[in-house]
Structure 1
């Protein structure tokens, strides 16, 4: 009976959908990487003294949250390589031949022992006189007339095994195809090898044609399931296998190599097969000399591998070595795009592919967004956009710390006095400026006209931009003497400069900031120069020279409020002589102290607002700065390293107010 409409409606009402975490492999909706977090990591390394290129490479090696880096992936590749060599050995074919030979001789001796004839005794003497090495014994038995059918069958199995193994070294799937080979099958293989050698010889002379290749594949294509499309592809395929076979031989002892060489003459009972393969190997080595024909590997496990299996193991070692080299990125011109993701997936699994692809996309995205640029000397450096990103991060950390200390939210005021500029901007969380009502209502009407029925939404709100009524000329003087590096104050100093630069360039655009570093000498630097500055061992804290440069900056802005912020961890121990040389002495020379105080007095005469941020717990430095602050009417702040940026920014805002 057909379902009624009412019953169908009730069934539909019972349908329920449930949502949960994705379990079948990596989450396809998860973000592959966080560019902002990546830039924070790179910026931290650059500020610690790495070049941008080194910092990027270190990030890729280390990885990011939830994503393994190149080091972890490389470590897994090498572990796979060690396991392959630790668990296997290469003499599996020799071991099988020895076992078959022993079985054949035991069976033959058993039959001869039951025969009371001179011929039987003579045959026993023949068997006793066989060479001690396996290859020589198999060769001597080539013309022996076996009395035991079991022995004859075991000896024939040796020949078939050698033929299959030789072919399996060079042609995929040949061992299984030749499992029950007939003399006709062996003759077909020998004919294929002759035609293949003729094709390669013609190619070496430059006389082969696509038609010749097509005729060869039409006749012998069943032996090449990889389906090469031309002679070069065929050579590439065969040369890779032949080189792996040669590396396998190189990994064996000289005695084992000699045994295999002699045994190869007995493959399928026809020495012409080994001769054809030898000619093939020689041609391939001449056509592809760039393959690794001389490498080797040490296998020391308990699992014996046949010649074909051992060759495939050597091929896998080659793939693992190539993958490790790609992941190491240590060769000239290395790029993340070089990593073979398919090989990585086959070796370590899908998650490894996902992690590596995320790193590839991260490097590409960092370059696409223009976060790096080339300097005049060809080196890589952080772009202004990258410095802004780092500044935003540093300022956000500082504001969070200020807010946590004072119980305030982050504010986005453009000026402390709150004078309207005539411009508006969208409201953001934490803003306290007045709404621009006309703009807000207009936004709401435009949104409703687009089909949204809501009367008012938070995205409609625009606020009035304000600005500070006065300008400031700010000089941030940062100590770059060796003690700043040795005591772990290098990165906090740079992050402080980043945060202050970001604040002034985005919130107080009318202000003018000069960044001045001082060690044995002082210099005015751009933000990128300061961020990339490497710590160097140099004695001297030349505050005098830094104050000279600060005064030059302040005098260029006579209509601005002068602000001088000094970050240091040592007394001034150097000053600039009239000739431009730096004079250093410790303890501080009276001449150095006098010259430094003289510059402070000059800036005090310009009504500069001083704040000294004293790092460390040196009592001599604290006493000196207290005296200087009383002299110039400034402030002394002794922050911990984590709070340095917050103290400098907060002091700047206090001074502006």
Structure 2
């Protein structure tokens, strides 16, 4: 037989055994599941950022909504709310009172039967006993107290009456120490004494702690003597107090949730627990200490139960604790407080309340958030705000380019962008590789160089860097590209804000990855114009400011072209409205609607300057406004430009295609391959050549 710990009671051992570790179902989700998909998350977050959300808010929205096949925080929060409603609608709090009432009725019935069977009993004594049983108070607690000195003649009746006292003691202890009701079943005098000693020592420990007079040795001594009553295995007095206070506060909230009649019945009955008022006195002392030590717990709350399944005192405290856990989970899952992180979500509580599947979903979201922060997808700027990192912008741009390539391939029958050469057609000759070259290797000549070198040095490497030759291509003209993006408020109102930003990001990614020799400048124009970095443009929020200042944007574009005199100027203008403001010589902005003739004149003059600089000019007209169509057509004719009127879904493909068309001509005017034949957009737009 295992050696018994000093002071350990049978009840304490039973309680410890009830909480002993068991094999449990694996809770980590599918071990073969693929890692979290950052590409999908980045695409969704990027959409929100380009719609004007901050990166932090966009990430929160993604975590909130989840994705296809994965529940988000909103769904988990909804299930938490449903679980809470279900607990309140299923249960009622009079389980212990009902059980005591049934025990009392059974005891009285058995006693009456015994009185009727006992022929040797004096008639006067029988009559007195029957009268006493018939005139018991209607209140269960009053009837129990009335029979406290009754001399039971039926052994079954006495056993049932004694069960009332034990049941009360077990339930009151179960409220504060979960599992006591089962552990103290068939309680003995030794068990009662062990519980009494534990409560006395616990109260002494807590009172010393409140006075600052306890030591770690005091806690160790207490646990060595009574540790079996605390299967949670607290490591210090604070952990012990935390566990006890949560349970005690739940017991108090249960009491607050009862009706006044139920509270009065329970109070009157509690004196009978284990046959004396001592237990209730010790528990009251314990509750008082815990409330003073942990005033932050909810001691005054209450709930409204309207179900039909009765709960005992211990079960009720457990349900009230579940409700408190659900409230904590609801707040954690809302992520609505400052500094919220998925790490805040208590996965163990979530698994207990909603099951392991919910915990796996939350864990996946946690891993996703960690990966977004850890892998450099999100970063903080100098002001501490979360932003998409350059790495994330490149990844998002690649995704957009892939989508654009598919659209262009479907509509034009052309190759995907990744197959289009960025350095010109192969000339048939090769040269030694130099740092920065992006041309493809000439594999046969590279291998031949390695073989020749090794003929004099058989131990040398198969290929050295000096062996590498690249295929020469025909030269292409360097381009200075200016993308003028309308950022007026009408773009946001009409749903063109995000397509415009997606287009800018796709073009930026294409040039920075495939045409590094070209120089792209992004210019946003609303009431006034400004040169923007791609991160600024994609995170730009729409603002209510009257004006579409194409004139100012053209001034900035022409300055960009003049800085690159040897490059081919390419001017791409995305707009949904006529120019309604211009820049005065003194720098002030003048606004007028309908457009003022001076604004039109200033805009046309600067557009003609672009033409004189040799710019290839393309307008991308958004919307079906006839007056805008006439105005843009006339401007294009004045400068020998082109007009494209794509659907919003095709805007990116139209702009990228126009740029590739401008890059497909060599410096002598001959075609050098690529996307050089744009005969139309399959009925979804049109070209109007000036």
TM-score of Structure 1 vs Structure 2, range by shorter chain: 0.7 to 0.9
Cα distance change of structure 1 residues 604 and 412 upon mapping to structure 2, 3 Å threshold:
closer
Between the aligned partners of 1:372 and 1:226, the Cα distance in structure 2 is 40
Instruction: Find the counterpart in structure 1 of residue 265 from structure 2.
Output: 259
Equivalent residue for 1:469, pick from 465, 476, 500: 476
Gaps of 5+ in 1: 1-22, 447-454
Between the aligned partners of 1:442 and 1:306, the Cα distance in structure 2 is 88
Between the aligned partners of 2:644 and 2:236, the Cα distance in structure 1 is 77
Equivalent residue for 1:186, pick from 182, 186, 192: 192
Gaps of 5+ in 2: 1-25, 454-461, 666-690
Instruction: Find the counterpart in structure 1 of residue 584 from structure 2.
Output: 577
What is the correspondence of 1:71-150 to structure 2 with a 5 Å cutoff?
71-108=74-111, 117=123, 122-123=128-129, 126-127=132-133, 130-150=136-156
Cα distance change of structure 1 residues 533 and 157 upon mapping to structure 2, 3 Å threshold:
same
Q: CA deviation at 1:320?
A: 2.2
Instruction: Find the counterpart in structure 2 of residue 592 from structure 1.
Output: 599
Cα distance change of structure 1 residues 422 and 624 upon mapping to structure 2, 3 Å threshold:
farther
**Contact 1:571 / 1:624 at 8 angstroms: preserved in 2?**
yes
Equivalent residue for 1:488, pick from 485, 495, 504: 495
Cα distance change of structure 1 residues 328 and 445 upon mapping to structure 2, 3 Å threshold:
farther
Instruction: Find the counterpart in structure 1 of residue 37 from structure 2.
Output: 34
**Contact 1:575 / 1:583 at 8 angstroms: preserved in 2?**
yes
What is the correspondence of 1:1-16 to structure 2 with a 5 Å cutoff?
none
The question of 1:615 aligning with 2:614 is answered: no
Q: CA deviation at 1:579?
A: 3.2
Q: CA deviation at 1:567?
A: 0.5
Between the aligned partners of 1:444 and 1:139, the Cα distance in structure 2 is 108
Further displaced range: 352-361 or 433-442:
433-442
Equivalent residue for 2:413, pick from 403, 407, 417: 407
Q: CA deviation at 1:36?
A: 1.6
Further displaced range: 630-639 or 406-415:
406-415
Q: CA deviation at 1:559?
A: 2.1
Further displaced range: 311-320 or 491-500:
311-320
**Contact 1:248 / 1:296 at 8 angstroms: preserved in 2?**
yes
Instruction: Find the counterpart in structure 2 of residue 50 from structure 1.
Output: 53
The question of 1:212 aligning with 2:215 is answered: no
Instruction: Find the counterpart in structure 1 of residue 278 from structure 2.
Output: 272
Further displaced range: 317-326 or 281-290:
317-326
**Contact 1:425 / 1:462 at 8 angstroms: preserved in 2?**
no
Instruction: Find the counterpart in structure 2 of residue 439 from structure 1.
Output: 446
Equivalent residue for 1:69, pick from 69, 72, 78: 72
Cα distance change of structure 1 residues 24 and 385 upon mapping to structure 2, 3 Å threshold:
closer
The question of 1:502 aligning with 2:505 is answered: no
Cα distance change of structure 1 residues 85 and 465 upon mapping to structure 2, 3 Å threshold:
farther
Equivalent residue for 1:390, pick from 387, 396, 413: 396
Between the aligned partners of 1:244 and 1:169, the Cα distance in structure 2 is 8
**Contact 1:195 / 1:216 at 8 angstroms: preserved in 2?**
yes
Between the aligned partners of 2:288 and 2:485, the Cα distance in structure 1 is 69
When the two structures are aligned, how many residues end up with a matched partner? 621
Instruction: Find the counterpart in structure 1 of residue 345 from structure 2.
Output: 339
Between the aligned partners of 2:484 and 2:635, the Cα distance in structure 1 is 16
TM-score, normalization by structure 1: 0.87
The question of 1:515 aligning with 2:518 is answered: no
Q: CA deviation at 1:510?
A: 1.8
Instruction: Find the counterpart in structure 2 of residue 236 from structure 1.
Output: 242
Q: CA deviation at 1:359?
A: 1.6
What is the correspondence of 1:505-584 to structure 2 with a 5 Å cutoff?
505-584=512-591
Cα distance change of structure 1 residues 466 and 290 upon mapping to structure 2, 3 Å threshold:
farther
Further displaced range: 461-470 or 293-302:
461-470
Between the aligned partners of 1:168 and 1:54, the Cα distance in structure 2 is 45
Q: CA deviation at 1:631?
A: 0.7
Between the aligned partners of 1:441 and 1:259, the Cα distance in structure 2 is 100
**Contact 1:426 / 1:463 at 8 angstroms: preserved in 2?**
no
Between the aligned partners of 1:423 and 1:48, the Cα distance in structure 2 is 44
Secondary structure at the aligned position of 2:191 is classed as helix
The question of 1:322 aligning with 2:328 is answered: yes
